[in-house]
Amino acid sequence: MCRLFGLHAGPQPVRATFWLLDAPDSLAEQSRREPDGAGIGTFDADGRAHVAKQPLAAWEDHAFAREARVLKSTTFLAHVRYASTGAHALVNTHPFEQDGRLFAHNGAFGDLKRLDQHLAELGVTDLVQGQTDSERLFALITAESRRTRGDVGEGIARAIRWIAEELPVFSLNLIVTTATDLWSLRYPATHELHILERDPAAAPAPAAPMDARSIRIHARSTDLARSPHVLFATEPMDHNPGWRPMASGELVHVGPLLAVTSTCPFPDSPAHPLSLSDLEPSAAASQKQ
């Protein structure tokens, strides 16, 4: 299953160090399916998006994700990919960039021909460079955001409602970032997605650096030892009791000053839900824990 990680550090850029693929440290870890790609997106002081990513088709490529990468940004988006559609190629590796926004997705859905027809009707087929369902989903969000004059939250809501009504859906968990805002969606309940609002200054213990680690992604920042920030991840990344699972259908927005708002603008389940057994073998393998 793909791993998602999002961080909003507030209005001032901070430094953070990322390892997107820690070396296996046990036989049990080595037995897990190897990922197909990894990447991280940030924004510079002028608000321009930057993406560093690599398909991991060979052992030599894994050095890219295992090496420490020190980055500075207000928001960060990291993704480790297990392919459900599309070859091991740079164009199929997350995060994707469109209209100055970054996007990563964990899930799968079907009938891409139907979606391609809809994207053609909306005039945005040029946004899709690869073969993945994820990039097509992002293109639909971008198209709907353009139709709402840049309202990304409404663009996400319109895009997900259309897919939930029209296409067979397994999971649509996603994160979208700009230099000032972050949106995160869990839909439906297939895969978990967690949020942590962390304020080190409010803790009774001495302030400590942010140090978040999951099975694949490790992020650390001494700059965030004393300032509030908001984290999103596929699973809780430390023992902080403040982690909570997002509800099925929950869309969370984190604003420039870390104001967190939550809505549930979607039906309880898609009109055409998929189970693991409905997926092609390669797609099913990519969606397992």
pLDDT per residue over 202-243, tens digit each?
776 677 899 999 888 999 999 999 899 999 999 999 999 999
Alpha-carbon distance of 238 to 235, in angstroms, equals 9
Given a contact cutoff of 8 angstroms between Cβ atoms, the answer to whether 75 and 23 are in contact is no
The arithmetic mean of pLDDT across residues 86-109, rounded, is 92
Q: What is the pTM of this model?
A: 0.94
23 pLDDT more than 90 = no
Percent of the chain, pLDDT > 70? 91
Q: Which of 189, 170, 179, 187 minimizes the C-alpha distance to 251?
A: 187
pLDDT per position as a tens digit, 246-280: 999 999 999 999 999 999 999 999 999 988 777 77
User: Bridge partners of 194?
Assistant: 233, 245
C-alpha 165: how far from chain center = 22
In 10 A of CB 214, how many CB atoms? 20
128 pLDDT more than 70 = yes
pLDDT of residue 125: 97
Domains of the chain: 3-287 (3.60.20.10)
In 8-85, alpha helices (H): 27-30, 62-66
Tally of CA atoms within 13 A in the half-sphere of 235 that contains its CB: 12
Alpha-carbon distance of 56 to 88, in angstroms, equals 7
pLDDT of residue 276: 75
Average pLDDT, the chain: 91
Q: Tokens representing 244?
A: 């909570």
142 pLDDT more than 50 = yes
pLDDT of residue 29: 47
